[in-house]
Amino acid sequence: MAEHLSNRLASTMSSLRKVAEFQPRAERPAAIALDAIDKTILCALQEDGSLSISELADRLGMTPPPCWRRVRRLRDAGVLKRQIWLVDPDAIGLHVMLYATVKLATHNAEEMKAFKEEVQKLPEVLECSILLGRTDVILKMIVPDISQYESFFYQKLTQLPGVREVITGVVMTRVKEASALPVL
């Protein structure tokens, strides 16, 4: 038992060292102090980003000028990043959501940089995360149909720099989709 745990710890530490080699430490900005009004603003704007300052102020029971100052402070601090509309994928013919786990052949900085640059160019890839553990990368993708994914798989995905193995899962049912972050 102790030997098994020791081997798992050694494997995890090896993975951490690999990540340290190709993923420079990003400076994480200090979290901004949020009061109850700030949190209410964040929740309201995540629910409906098209709210005007007047509508938001009404919801908060305040006048527009202090509401605007708070929104501007949150935007300037980088808490509010951008305002967008979410598009229904089925309405535009994107019916198949997929997740793929990717194992890379190497973990050197040049290969990882090349992989990251190339994956950015693929509009079918909605999200890409580098992981610790047995899987190196997880991708969230969307395509019109399985035949389109097959073409994408052979012509683009497996041609990304450093890709050794790809295992794909097709989403049967989306149980929960959330874009709003929990504001605690």
- Give the start-to-end residue ranges of the domains of the chain: 36-76, 89-170
Phi, psi at 45, each rounded to 5°: -70, -30
Query: Tens of pLDDT along 20-45?
Result: 454 455 666 778 899 999 999 999 99
89-170 shares the fold of 36-76? no
Query: Tens of pLDDT along 135-159?
Result: 999 999 999 999 999 999 999 999 9
Residues 119 and 77: their CA atoms lie apart, in Å, by 29
3-state secondary structure of 150: helix
Instruction: List the chain residues with pLDDT less than 50.
Output: 2, 4-13, 15-16, 19-20, 22-23
pLDDT (0 to 100) of residue 181? 93
pLDDT (0 to 100) of residue 133? 92
3.10.105.10, 3.30.360.10, 1.10.4160.10, 3.30.70.920: which CATH number matches 89-170?
A: 3.30.70.920
3-state secondary structure of 99: strand
**pTM of this prediction?**
0.78
CA distances from 51 to 107, 128, 144 (A): 45, 30, 32
CB 115 within 8 A of CB 161: yes
Q: Which amino acid is at 15?
A: S
How many Cβ atoms are within 10 Å of 183's Cβ, its own excluded? 13
CA distances from 15 to 5, 18, 20, 68 (A): 15, 5, 9, 46
How many residues comprise the chain? 184
pLDDT (0 to 100) of residue 19? 46
pLDDT (0 to 100) of residue 48? 94
pLDDT (0 to 100) of residue 5? 41
- The fold for domain 36-76 equals Arc Repressor Mutant, subunit A (1.10.10)
